[in-house]
């Protein structure tokens, strides 16, 4: 298996994990419906909403990984950032739904009374969870990557560094320069003083 195939495989597994993290709370609700002997249709709208959000996020996560692979200084940075993003996604996708539905039961019931389908709220909460996960992944990746001081490199906020945007000092190979060759110095010419007539000689 080539490294490229392994990368694709791991990226696919990661995208599937993201999909599963988004889908899990809907499946928990659906399981309750299934166990409770309510008619088969109940709860399917929530599962459908999670499938749409989860599939969208899986595609985004896949694309992000492929993109980061091209720019990363080290491959481990991609996976560390992705792991953190997945943790945030799994927690927020379930806890947001649980917390918001339990804490604001009156408000949701009121919306339901007005005819607003709860599936809209469900999808909105999961989109917030996806956004939190994406921001986390990109932020951690950016933090791990080598970059100069933030005021110079971070002109795009928390976006990850693209090599062509970040002024990272690079090492440039240059051909060794040979030391300058000195021309040989001619030996000094010595003239015997005795052979010259001196000016003081009596004319």
Partner 1 sequence: MNRREFLASGLGVVGTVAAGLTLGKGVWPLLAEEDLVPGEAPRARLDRQAWDTTPDRISFAALGDNGSGGRQAMAVADRMAEVYRDHPFGLVAMLGDICYYGNFEDRYDDVFRRPMTPLIDAGVSFELAIGNHDADLHHSDEGLAEIEAELRLLGTPGRYYTSTHGPADFFYLDSSVPGLLGDGSSEQLEWLEDTLAGADNQWKVVALHHPPYSSGEHGSTPGFDEVLQPLLARHHVDLVLAGHDHHYERTHPIDGTTYVVSGGGCKTTGVARRDFTAVAESTLEFLHVDIDGDRLTGTCIRPDGSVADSFTIRAREGR
Q: Name the segment binding partner 1 (CB under 8 A); options: 41-49, 127-135, 161-169, 183-191.
A: 41-49
User: How far is Cα 186 from Cα 170, in angstroms, rounded to an integer?
Assistant: 46
Q: Residue 202 has which token pair? A: 């009596």
Residues 6+ apart with CB under 8 A from 60: 130, 134
Q: Which of residues 94-133 bind partner 1 (CB under 8 A)?
A: 94-95, 97-98, 101-102, 105-106, 108-113, 118, 122
Q: Which of residues 63-82 bind partner 1 (CB under 8 A)?
A: 74, 76-77, 80-81
Give the binding-site size for partner 1 (rule: CB under 8 A). Answer: 46
User: Which of 6, 9, 28, 135 touches partner 1 by CB under 8 A?
Assistant: 28
Contact between 41 and partner 1 per CB under 8 A = no
For partner 1, the closer of residues 2 and 36 by Cβ is: 36
For partner 1, the closer of residues 15 and 26 by Cβ is: 26
> Minimum distance from CB of 74 to partner 1 (Å)?
8
Site string for partner 1, 143-182 (x = CB under 8 A): xx--------------------------------------
Residue 97 exposed, middle or buried by CB count within 10 Å (0-12, 13-18, 19+):
buried
User: Which of 53, 72, 129, 140 touches partner 1 by CB under 8 A?
Assistant: 140
Question: What is the contact surface with partner 1 in residues (CB under 8 A)?
Answer: 24-25, 28-29, 31-33, 35-39, 42-43, 46, 74, 76-77, 80-81, 83-84, 86-88, 90-91, 94-95, 97-98, 101-102, 105-106, 108-113, 118, 122, 140, 143-144
């Amino acid at each position: 298996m080539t490294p490229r195939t392994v990368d694709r495989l791991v990226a696919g597994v990661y995208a599937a994990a993201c999909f599963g993290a988004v889908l899990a709370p809907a499946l928990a609700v659906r399981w309750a419906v299934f166990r409770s002997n309510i008619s088969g249709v109940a709860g399917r709208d929530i599962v459908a909403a999670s499938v749409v959000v989860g599939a969208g996020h899986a595609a985004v996560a896949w694309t992000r990984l492929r993109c980061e692979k091209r720019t990363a200084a080290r491959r481990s940075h991609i996976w560390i950032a992705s792991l953190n993003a997945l943790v945030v996604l799994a927690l927020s996708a379930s806890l947001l739904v649980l917390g918001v539905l339990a804490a604001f039961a009156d408000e949701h019931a009121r919306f339901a009374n007005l005819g607003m389908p709860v599936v809209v709220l469900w999808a909105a909460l999961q989109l917030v969870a996806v956004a939190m996960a994406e921001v986390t992944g990109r932020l951690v990746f950016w933090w791990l990557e080598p970059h100069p001081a933030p005021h110079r490199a971070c002109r795009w906020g928390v976006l990850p560094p693209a090599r062509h945007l970040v002024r990272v000092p690079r090492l440039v190979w240059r051909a060794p320069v040979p030391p300058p060759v000195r021309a040989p110095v001619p030996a000094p010419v010595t003239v015997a003083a005795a052979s010259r007539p001196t000016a003081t000689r009596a004319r």
